[in-house]
Structure 1
Amino acid sequence: MDKITKSLLETFSSQNEIERLAESVQFEHFSNYSIISKLNRSSFELDDIHTGSGGDCAIDGLCVIANGKIITDIDELNEITEGPGYLDAEIIFIQAKTTSSFSGSEIGSFIYGAKDFLSDNPKLVQNEKIKNIKAIWDEVINKSSYMINRRPHCKLFYVCTGKWVGDQNLQAIIDGGKAEIESLGVFENVSIAPNGATEIQKFYHETKNKLSTTINFQNRITLPDIVDVKEAYLGVIPFNEFAKLIQDENQTIHSIFDDNVRDFQGENAVNKRIKNTLSDGKFDLFCVLNNGVTLVASSITPAGNRFTLRDYQIVNGCQTSNILHECQKIDGISNVSVPIKIIVTESEDIKTEITLATNSQTEVRTEQLEALSQFQKRLELYFNAEKGDIKLHYERRSQQYNSTPGIKRTQIISIPIQIKSFASVFLESPHLVSGYYGTIVNRFKGQIFAASHKFLPYYVSSLCYYRIEQYFRSGELSPEYKKARFHIMMAVRMLSMGCVIDQLNSNAIERKCEVFKVLLLDDKKALKIFNQATQLFEKSGIDLTKRQYKSESDTEILKDAVIAHSKSLQGAR
């Protein structure tokens, strides 16, 4: 391995606390992270992508992306598809080798493994991760009626630390494999990319860059000077230019709606009207009937009419963006002009005010906006104010800390992880945390991110998550229990704070959470109670052979086991 790749690998392994793993496995994670981050702006867990182990079908990384989101669960796929009513899917296969040359036999095995995975009756032995993603992929195919924009894309990446020189024999293997996958008749397009040290280094460096897009913005006016706003523009842009902002070259929609307070609502009345305007060919009326899109960027570089926007989010216009994306195949769509407001600011206060102001015109009530905006911001500040040997960072926007030096990825708590951790630990619902996090919030409407809630329960539930993941990485907890991690976290809270939960806005909950925090910050004491919770899970009577624990009865069995254990300890005293 060359010195540059080795140095980047060491940095990556330190940031992700995987130094104990073999170098070859570190490189698999490194390659998976670099490639998937290049293709998708969402935050994700390394283990969600990594498949390399026994029964991996010569596949080290495997990822299904639907409507711009990385899918790890069939429930999540269903929720993400049924809302908007369309499905833009892609599947990514990755094989990573630390060898310094490209191997024809290994490339061939990798392609064969991908073909076998995609077949109706796979012949190769599949490990549990491969089986889980195979089940997701089969469900994608079952939802072919939703593929109104395009058929799925298939991408294979073979990575080593050598240099690709276009060897004729190796290229013949790649071309033959591509033709065989294309012959399945499933995909819009198929690509097989050989990547050497130079390519994987470039991918990794690009993970540090913010999203950047260049558009032609001719019909605009410059707004007057505004405090804390560097620049602001109002105008209209043609559909083809707008499409550059919301989707990549594969026509997959970007994850640029993190600051938008509601997900795409699908076939509601407002969206039906937008869609009907386009379906009826009223392209010239679109810009006067639609409120348009508000986009906030950290920086902008104008060059004549060409504007390069960096690190941007659409804070209002999620519905419009998704409908336009869905309707992009309609004849004449290029005649649509999209009203757009572009605001350049680095002020989080300004971003929040814009989000609240521009999202208050439809069915979202002001108190809901506050809960999903102000609470998030204050929670981020609370995380930053917490002192201790373990520093956690609350990620309100996907990948917002990617370019921040000195922050380990393991210490970043994304919104989905926060929601799942809090719902498991304090709402005692670990069986309900699979699926897309927007749906999870709806399940617990009024019970999560409530304005009156104390922040410490959110923080300690995230700290609990950090600890259990740390123990899985170190091998101090067996990885076989990772599928039950949210159940075990609930048990840890019950053992540490008692089986009865105080009101989440009370001083009592804050006092108990403070004690719980001190315990979690003590490595030895924390490991002891996590081991205790794992043993109770093992002995509870729950079916340990299950792939997932989505039944409320599993949660109740574990709660009963913890309560019985606590009573036995009290009796012994």
Structure 2
Amino acid sequence: MDKITKSLLDSFVEQFEISKLSESLQFEHFTNYSVATKSYRNSFDLDDIHTGSGGDCAIDGLIIIVNGRLILDDDELTDIVTTSGFLDADIIFIQSKTSSSFDGSQIGNFIHGIKDFLSDNPRLVQNEKIIKIKSIWEKMLSMSSYMINRRPACKIYYVCTGKWQNDQNLNAVITSGVEELEHLSLFESIDFDPLGASEIQRLYHETKNKLTATINFQNRITLPDIEGISEAYLGVIPYNEYLKLIQDDQKTIHSIFDDNVRDFQGENAVNRNIKRTLEDGKFDLFCVLNNGVTIVASSITPAGNRFTIRDYQIVNGCQTSHVLHDCQNIHGIENVFIPTKIIVTANDDIKTSITLATNSQTEVKAEQLEALSSFQRKLELYFKAEKNNITLYYERRSQQYNSDAGIKRTQIISIPIQIKAFASMFLDSPHLVSGYYGTIVNRFSGKIFSENHMLSLYYVSALAFYKIEQFFRSGEIDVKYKKIRFHLLMLIRLISLGDKMEPFNSKSLDKKCETLKNTLLKETESLRLFEKAVSIYENSSIDKDKRQYKSESDTELFISAYRQQYQKTELPQK
């Protein structure tokens, strides 16, 4: 391995705290992360996309992205597709080798593994991760009626640390393999990219960069100077130019709506009306009937009418954007103009104020607005104020800490992770935290991010999540227990704080969380606590062969197992 790739790999290993893995496994994770981030810009767990180890079908990384979202289970797929009303899918296969040359036989084995994965009757041995993603793939194919824009796109990456020389024999192996995959008639497109050291270095560097798009913005006016805002424009953007902002080259919609207080609402009345306007061919009326979109960016570079926008989010216009994306095959759609406001600011408070103001006229509940503005901000500051031997960062905005080399990725707690950890620990709902983020938020609406909740509950649940992931990485807790990690969070709360939950605004509960926090911060005591939780599971009658525990009855079994072991010492004497 050359010195530059080795240096980048070492940096990656430190960022993700995977030093105990072998170099080949580190490189697999490094490659998977670099490739995946090209298509999916949000946070994800390295193990979610890693398939390498025995029974991997010569596939080290396997990723399914639907409508711009990384799909990790069947529920998530169903939630996203039925909510959106369409299915734009990418499947990505990755094979990584630390060798300094491209190997034709290895490439052939890789292609054979892909064909076997896609076949109706796989013959190769498949590990649990391959089996799980295969199940998602089959479920996705059964929903092909939603593929109204295109069939799935297949992207294949073979990575080594050498230099791609465009060797004729290797090209023949690749071409033959791609042709065989094309005969399956599954894909809109198939791209096979052999990546050498320079290419994987470039991809890794790009993971540090923010999303960028260049559009033609001719019909605009410049707004007057506003304190805290460096630039602001108001105008209309042609349909084809607007698509450059919201989707990639494969027509997959970007994850650029994270600062929007609502996710896409699917076929509701408002969205049906937007779509009807387009289907009826009223293209010239669209820009006067639609409230338009608001884009907040960190920087913008104008060159005549060409605007390069960097690190941007659509803070109002999520619904409009999804409908426009959905309607791109309508004849004449290119005649649509979208009312657009582009605001450039680095001020977080202004960004929040813009989001609140531009969404307040729509069907956004007051508590959602409040959660975005006040509670989230306070929670971020609370995390920063915790001066412990472990530092966690609350990612209130997507990719907030991406460019900060001093912050390890494992230290970042995203909003989805916070919701899952809190709901598991304090709402006794680990069975409800799988699925699509938007659906999970709706499940716990009114129960999370309440203004009177003690912030310590959120911090300690995030810390518990960080610790269990750390123990998985170090091998101190077997990774086979990852499937119950959120149930384990619930169990450590039961062990530490008891079965009876006090109100979330209780000072008494706040003090108990402080005690639990101090336990989690101590390596030995923290590990012992999680080992107790694991022993409850192991000593119970719970079916250990289940791949997932996603029902309320499953959670009740975990609670019952805890009570059998601990409750008799907690119940008051009669």
Same fold, TM-score > 0.5, yes or no: yes
Q: Alpha-carbon deviation of 1:374?
A: 2.5
Partner of 2:514: 514
Partner of 2:325: 325
Paired with 1:8 and 1:413, the residues of 2 have a C-alpha distance of 23
Q: Kindly report which structure 2 residues correspond to 1:278-357, keeping only aligned pairs within 5 A, or say none.
A: 278-357=278-357
Paired with 1:445 and 1:233, the residues of 2 have a C-alpha distance of 35
Partner of 1:132: 132
Paired with 2:142 and 2:347, the residues of 1 have a C-alpha distance of 45
Partner of 1:483: 483
Q: Is the CA contact 1:419–1:437 (under 8 Å) kept in the aligned structure 2?
A: no
Q: Kindly report which structure 2 residues correspond to 1:33-44, keeping only aligned pairs within 5 A, or say none.
A: 33-44=33-44
Q: Is the CA contact 2:259–2:314 (under 8 Å) kept in the aligned structure 1?
A: yes
Paired with 1:554 and 1:213, the residues of 2 have a C-alpha distance of 46
**Structure 1 residues 83-92 or 357-366, which shifts more?**
357-366
**Runs of 5+ consecutive residues of structure 1 not aligned to the other structure:** none
Paired with 2:487 and 2:567, the residues of 1 have a C-alpha distance of 20
TM-score (norm 1): 0.99
Q: Alpha-carbon deviation of 1:570?
A: 5.5
Q: Alpha-carbon deviation of 1:569?
A: 4.4
Partner of 1:73: 73
Q: Alpha-carbon deviation of 1:225?
A: 0.7
**Structure 1 residues 244-253 or 374-383, which shifts more?**
374-383
Q: Alpha-carbon deviation of 1:396?
A: 1.9
Partner of 2:467: 467
Q: Alpha-carbon deviation of 1:344?
A: 0.3
Q: Percent identity?
A: 66
| Structure 2 CA distance for partners of 1:248 and 1:471, relative to 1, 3 Å | same
Q: Alpha-carbon deviation of 1:399?
A: 2.1
Runs of 4+ deviating beyond 6 Å: none
Q: Alpha-carbon deviation of 1:34?
A: 0.3
Q: Secondary structure of the residue that 2:63 maps to in structure 1?
A: strand
Q: Is the CA contact 1:212–1:309 (under 8 Å) kept in the aligned structure 2?
A: yes
Paired with 2:383 and 2:571, the residues of 1 have a C-alpha distance of 39
Paired with 1:320 and 1:162, the residues of 2 have a C-alpha distance of 45
Q: What letter matches 1:226 in structure 2? A: I
- The superposition leaves residues 132-156 of structure 1 with CA deviations (integer Å, 9 ceiling, x where unpaired) of 0000000110010000011110011
Q: Is the CA contact 1:159–1:200 (under 8 Å) kept in the aligned structure 2?
A: yes
Q: Kindly report which structure 2 residues correspond to 1:543-554, keeping only aligned pairs within 5 A, or say none.
A: 543-554=543-554
Q: Is the CA contact 1:352–1:374 (under 8 Å) kept in the aligned structure 2?
A: no
Paired with 2:554 and 2:78, the residues of 1 have a C-alpha distance of 23
Matched, 1:18 2:14: no
Partner of 1:446: 446
Partner of 2:275: 275
**Runs of 5+ consecutive residues of structure 2 not aligned to the other structure:** none
Q: Secondary structure of the residue that 1:441 maps to in structure 2?
A: helix
Paired with 1:132 and 1:570, the residues of 2 have a C-alpha distance of 40
**Structure 1 residues 522-531 or 501-510, which shifts more?**
501-510
Partner of 1:4: 4
Q: Alpha-carbon deviation of 1:367?
A: 2.9
TM-score (norm 2): 0.98
Q: Is the CA contact 1:293–1:317 (under 8 Å) kept in the aligned structure 2?
A: yes
Q: Kindly report which structure 2 residues correspond to 1:134-213, keeping only aligned pairs within 5 A, or say none.
A: 134-213=134-213
Q: Secondary structure of the residue that 2:330 maps to in structure 1?
A: coil
- The superposition leaves residues 400-455 of structure 1 with CA deviations (integer Å, 9 ceiling, x where unpaired) of 21111210111111111111111100000111111012111111111011121111
Q: Is the CA contact 1:372–1:449 (under 8 Å) kept in the aligned structure 2?
A: no
- The superposition leaves residues 51-81 of structure 1 with CA deviations (integer Å, 9 ceiling, x where unpaired) of 0010000000000000000000100000000
Partner of 1:119: 119
Q: Secondary structure of the residue that 2:84 maps to in structure 1?
A: coil
Partner of 2:505: 505
Q: Alpha-carbon deviation of 1:208?
A: 0.3
Paired with 1:399 and 1:127, the residues of 2 have a C-alpha distance of 32
Paired with 2:292 and 2:348, the residues of 1 have a C-alpha distance of 22
Q: Alpha-carbon deviation of 1:368?
A: 2.3
Paired with 1:403 and 1:317, the residues of 2 have a C-alpha distance of 27
Q: Secondary structure of the residue that 1:473 maps to in structure 2?
A: helix
Q: Secondary structure of the residue that 2:235 maps to in structure 1?
A: strand
Q: Secondary structure of the residue that 2:126 maps to in structure 1?
A: coil
Q: What letter matches 1:479 in structure 2? A: V
Count of equivalent residues: 573
- The superposition leaves residues 253-308 of structure 1 with CA deviations (integer Å, 9 ceiling, x where unpaired) of 00000000001111111101100000000000000000000000001111111111
Paired with 1:190 and 1:332, the residues of 2 have a C-alpha distance of 28
Q: Is the CA contact 1:299–1:309 (under 8 Å) kept in the aligned structure 2?
A: yes
Paired with 1:331 and 1:483, the residues of 2 have a C-alpha distance of 47
Q: Secondary structure of the residue that 1:446 maps to in structure 2?
A: coil
